[in-house]
Amino acid sequence: MTMHATAERLATEAHAPVLRPSTSMTLAIENMHCGGCLRSVERAVLKVPGVETARASLSAKRVSIAYDPALAGAADFIDALKAAGFAAAPIEAAKQDKDTARQSYLLRCVAVSGFAAMNIMLISIAVWSGEASDMDASLAIAFRWISALIALPTVAYAGQPFFTSALSALKARRLNMDVPISLAILLATGMSLYQTMRGGEQVYFDAAVSLLFFLLVGRFLDETLRVRARGEAQNLLGLQSGIATVIEPDGAHRAVPAHALKPGDHLLVAVGERVAADGVVLEGAGQVDQSLITGETAPLSVTIGQEVYAGTINLIQPLHVMVKAADSSTLLAEIGRLMQAAEQGRARYRRLADRAAQIYAPAVHGLGLATFLGWLALGATWQTALTYAIAVLIITCPCALALAVPAVQIAAASRLFRQGIIVKAADGLERIAEADMVVFDKTGTLTIGRPELLQDDAICDDTLMAAAGLACASKHPLARSLVVAAEKRLGKVRPASGVEEVPGQGLKRSLVQGEERLGAAAWCGVSSAGSESEVWYRRDWMSPVRFRFADTLRSDATRIVGVLKRQGYDVALLSGDRTEVVERVARQAGIDAWQAELRPADKIAWLNARAREGRKVLMVGDGLNDAPALAAAHASMSPSSAADISQRTADFVFQGERLAPVTEAVAVGKRARSMALQNFAVALVYNVICVPLAVAGFVTPLIAAIVMSTSSILVTANAARLAK
Amino acid sequence: MTALAWLVPVALLLGGLGLAMFLWALRSGQFEDLEGAAYRALEDVPPGEDDPAR
């Protein structure tokens, strides 16, 4: 009996891996660039026990993993990838899936309508040329029926994106571009079906379906741009928030992706780490760097019971933090309220294509109707009048609007993407082109956002090397930047051995000659009243040496400000930091208009005042305190090191240490706008020539379809110039 | 002319076959990573041996 039971259990266990449901997870990979990386990523993940499949995607910069949740977790994958040299972070894939589902639905529509358009055109050309020669009448009728058999299901399937959108616009008593499109397609199809049944010759399935095909291509490009922008932004956010260490009730440490943290979780924040979520300090006291939140560069002291915000860097001692839900009295809640108010202003912006559609759609409908009524009044049969009216609708059908603007924008976005700039809002390109004033935040935007050793020639190489050797033992931001500075000047730094760290004070080690210390002024036995961040280094047998640190300007900040000024932009600096620091940075960067010690609401008030003067402001900022201002400004950019909420709000996110992306984005935005306008001009010229001909009845729908395709190709080719 | 009676259906069938194959390829995720696919084609690790792609 027992033996039987054991055998049974063994059997179940043998099958267990198959039966157990596997979970899937998607990770964003930061630095995957080539086929070799793709392989290494997949190999690294597959080596983790419990992983069933791993599939990396080079265009999405992600890897999808199917795994057994009992054997592996996010932290294992991230560690394995880190060992292979890749930075990775989990992302929530659910939202993205919905977007890609819509994208592949549109691609299916493009494929179906493309197939139908080619085949119907093939048959149509036979019929049209047959009419001039000796084609049998019965054969022509048969061909028209075949066209109808292909066209009807195609229109019913691939026309849906337009029909649903037109229907919802009509329900809301509005007119959008999809109303004339749907009308043209449905009328042309219905009319052709009627003519086919009567054995008539006015059959234009070809026109209806090829119109559908071109419009769908435009729609698909537009959606592709949106999906890619959203995906990139999601990757960045995921990589930034990273992994938090949660202490379980039983004392075990567990790595949890930051977005999966729940209120009540107990976090351990190591020195030098960012706090992953808003919370209250439970244990430990020390200083935190809140520059990402408030723009203030001087560290803030925190003790038990005080609140810390996501994005602050812990400086001195490990902190235990309890994650807290947002409550209405905090800075975050205030920023949330300001954001909501500011975003309502942004929503009033109408896209170029929509503004054009507002004028275009009524004109198209009016013209179509006038043609129909006019020909009836002149005594034409209603079929003829309707055919001419359809030709007018097809001719005027806004391909330039439906295809040209997305084609330009996708070309512009891929150009910017290659330079590390992510276009998050499709209409951001239009808005940035209109800006006439650029406003910068200070910390993290004009400046790099972390302390750098001021190039002090007083410090000799030996001292720097020795101090950096000690500093290797600490994760304190100042110690780290000391090491970076030493590596820059002297090459590789050898860590000193036997170093002891006293939290909140500094580092020390004993040598034969005496003691060696690195840290706060008091720790090294000096009294200093310096307002800047500084670190002292002292050997017992020598006098102490001071290392001064400051948040320095981005390498090209002054140049970029100069370029913007020469291009005629007004440049201003708005900061939440202290007056003397802001003044110094403004002077260095060459900005005359600056304001310091501003709260988020003050920044918005300032921006609103400019908006009332009719100025269109491009806001560049990174802090949590900038987020409302980013939402309120006409256009906005933020560096990829910015706070989550700012990156979500900004129209553009740029990577790297340089500020040049600002001028690049402005330049590309302007070129994109002039190209969109060129495309409108192409469409207009062609309308001016063709519409009178169509109204007069000289253009058959077939010719209309061919001319329209040509203009679409022209307009797309024009847009492609931007991608180079 | 009678040739058309079978030539036209054959043409449509072949076209439809192309469409069906495209839709199948789309559904099976072959268009999800166009950049990566370009590199995967160059891989010379024999399938089955340390082959992650399933």
Is A441 one of the annotated active-site residues of the chain?
Answer: yes
Does B42 touch chain A if contact means CB atoms closer than 8 Å?
Answer: yes
Cβ pairs A/B, distance under 8 A: 68
* Nearest Cα residue to A162 out of A180, A135, A144, A149: A180
DSSP secondary structure letters along A688-717:
HHHHHHHHTT---HHHHHHHHHHHHHHHHH
φ, ψ (nearest 5 deg) of residue A546: -100, 130
The yes-or-no verdict on residue A13 having pLDDT over 60 is no
Q: What is the mean pLDDT of chain A?
A: 80
Which range among A108-122, A485-499, B5-19 shows the weakest confidence by mean pLDDT?
A485-499
By C-alpha distance, the chain B residue nearest A224 is B32
pLDDT at A7: 44
More confident residue, A390 or A667: A667
Instruction: Assess contact for A663 and A554: CB atoms under 8 A.
Output: no
Between strands A421-423 and A652-654, the pairing is: antiparallel
Residue A718 host element (H or E): helix A701-720
Instruction: Assess contact for A535 and A547: CB atoms under 8 A.
Output: yes
Contacts with A593 (C-beta within 8 Å, 6 or more apart), sequence order: A570, A571, A572, A573
pLDDT at A159: 92
The yes-or-no verdict on residue A236 having pLDDT over 80 is no
Cβ within 8 Å of A, B 6-35 = 8, 11-12, 15-16, 18-19, 22-23, 26, 31-35
pLDDT at A6: 44
Burial label for A402, CB within 10 Å (0-12, 13-18, 19+), is: buried
Mean pLDDT value of segment A463-473: 83
The yes-or-no verdict on residue A657 having pLDDT over 70 is yes
Alpha-carbon span A197 to B19, nearest angstrom = 28
* Nearest Cα residue to A552 out of A461, A642, A472, A659: A659
DSSP secondary structure letters along A432-488:
HHH--EEEE-IIIIIEEEEEEE---TTS-HHHHHHHHHHHTT---HHHHHHHHHHHH
- Considering Cα of B22, then B27, then B33, then B39, what sign does the dihedral take? negative
AA letter at A657: E
The three-class DSSP label of residue A513 is coil
Alpha-carbon span A135 to A46, nearest angstrom = 65
AA letter at A163: F
Distance from CA of A35 to the nearest CA of B (A): 5
pLDDT at A667: 93
Greatest distance between any 2 Cα atoms in chain B: 58
Per-residue pLDDT reduced to its tens digit, A339-385: 776 666 555 666 777 777 677 777 777 888 898 899 899 888 887 88
**Distance (Å) of CA A667 to CA A288, A316, A424, A633, A664:** 39, 44, 17, 18, 5
Between strands A617-620 and A437-440, the pairing is: parallel
Residue with tokens 């769908």: A216
Residue with tokens 């009044």: A377
Q: Residue A34: list chain B partners with CB under 8 A.
A: 39
pLDDT at A397: 64
Alpha-carbon span A180 to A396, nearest angstrom = 9
Question: Hey, how many other C-beta atoms are within 10 angstroms of the C-beta on A309?
Answer: 20
Q: Residue A130: list chain B partners with CB under 8 A.
A: none
Confidence of residue A275 (pLDDT cuts 50, 70, 90): confident
Residue A510 host element (H or E): strand A506-510
Rg (CA), chain B: 18
- With an 8 Å Cβ cutoff, are A104 and B39 in contact? no
- With an 8 Å Cβ cutoff, are B38 and A35 in contact? yes
**Distance (Å) of CA A234 to CA A147, A227, A259, A556:** 45, 10, 12, 28
Does A99 touch chain B if contact means CB atoms closer than 8 Å?
Answer: no
Q: Residue B15: list chain A partners with CB under 8 A.
A: 115, 118-119
CA A73 to chain centre: 27
The yes-or-no verdict on residue A15 having pLDDT over 70 is no
Confidence of residue A724 (pLDDT cuts 50, 70, 90): low
Per-residue pLDDT reduced to its tens digit, A77-120: 888 888 888 888 877 666 667 777 888 899 999 999 999 988 88
pLDDT at A335: 72
Instruction: Give the orientation angle of helix A600-612 with respect to helix A331-346, to 10 degrees.
Output: 20
- With an 8 Å Cβ cutoff, are B39 and A119 in contact? no
- With an 8 Å Cβ cutoff, are B42 and A35 in contact? yes
Beta pairing partners, A507 = A501, A518
Instruction: Assess contact for A46 and B52: CB atoms under 8 A.
Output: yes
Confidence of residue A618 (pLDDT cuts 50, 70, 90): very high
Which range among A37-46, A410-419, A427-436, A527-536 shows the weakest confidence by mean pLDDT?
A527-536
Burial label for A2, CB within 10 Å (0-12, 13-18, 19+), is: exposed
Per-residue pLDDT reduced to its tens digit, A201-229: 777 788 788 888 888 887 888 788 778 77
> What's the pTM?
0.72
Alpha-carbon span A526 to A460, nearest angstrom = 20
Beta pairing partners, A307 = A280
- With an 8 Å Cβ cutoff, are A57 and B31 in contact? no
> Which DSSP category does A542 fall into?
S
Instruction: Assess contact for A379 and A639: CB atoms under 8 A.
Output: no
**Distance (Å) of CA A230 to CA A139, A201, B33:** 52, 49, 16
Record the tokens describing residue A71, joined without a space. 């054997």
Mean pLDDT value of segment A585-609: 87
**Distance (Å) of CA A246 to CA A238, A277, A322, A600, A626:** 18, 11, 10, 32, 29
- With an 8 Å Cβ cutoff, are A107 and B26 in contact? yes
- Which range of A20-24, A69-73, A520-524, A610-614 scores highest in mean pLDDT? It is A610-614
**Distance (Å) of CA A70 to CA A10, A73, A77, A83, A249:** 19, 8, 14, 22, 20
**Which phi-psi region, left, alpha or beta, contains residue A614 (left: φ > 0; alpha: ψ -120 to 50)?**
left
Confidence of residue A530 (pLDDT cuts 50, 70, 90): low
Record the tokens describing residue A78, joined without a space. 């991230």
**Strand (E) positions, A306-367?**
307-308, 313-314, 319-323
> Which DSSP category does A287 fall into?
E
Between strands A515-519 and A533-539, the pairing is: antiparallel
Instruction: Assess contact for A57 and A93: CB atoms under 8 A.
Output: no
Record the tokens describing residue A664, joined without a space. 């690049």
Residue with tokens 């990396």: A56
Confidence of residue A16 (pLDDT cuts 50, 70, 90): very low
Instruction: Assess contact for A147 and A204: CB atoms under 8 A.
Output: no
The yes-or-no verdict on residue A693 having pLDDT over 70 is yes
Share of chain A above pLDDT 70, in %: 89
Catalytic residue among A427, A441, A551, A622: A441
pLDDT at A399: 61
- With an 8 Å Cβ cutoff, are A146 and B12 in contact? yes
